Amino acid sequence: MNLLFHVALAALAAVEPPQPDAVALAELDGYARGRTDAGDFSGVVLVAKDGAVLLEHAYGKRDEAKDDLIEPSTQFNLASAGKMFTSVAILQQIAAGRITLDTRVGEVIRDYPNRAFADHATVRQLLTHSSGAGDIDLFGVENAANRQSARTVA
């Protein structure tokens, strides 16, 4: 999980989400099943509150060329696909007034081990990839030997 996502989670931790009722969970499950049947969705839906799993179900095939079904434990190599969701989560926290673009990492993740970074890096810098946190460039020349490992979840 990337650092920006941890900032979003930490800011969200103080918010009490509504408890979904059985009807809403059934509607969500029915919607996911319908989208799967229509060929629009394959994935896992997990709804949990306070550590209790309220809904967990896998939908669709792992690979369209094979008949392997997705299981809740199926791991997917998503690469950077989560960046847009993380950005939305951060901007929702900003809109709610819990953090600002100038909030420093250390203000939200108080026990972040690299104190120099935590006291310097802002949410804005994380969003714009200008915090100085570095990058794991799996596709650069210097990591050619590691490239094969990036093709699997492991």
| Per-residue model confidence (pLDDT) at position 17 | 57
pLDDT for residue 15 is more than 80 = no
Hey, what are 76's tokens? 């997917």
Buried b (16+ CB within 10 A) or exposed e, 84-94: eebeebbeebb
| Per-residue model confidence (pLDDT) at position 1 | 44
The predicted model scores a pTM of 0.52
| Per-residue model confidence (pLDDT) at position 65 | 79
Query: Structural domain boundaries of the chain?
Result: 3-151
- pLDDT tens track for 42-99: 889 998 888 888 899 999 988 777 888 999 988 876 777 888 888 999 999 999 999 9
**Helices 83-95 and 3-12, interaxial angle, to 10°?**
40
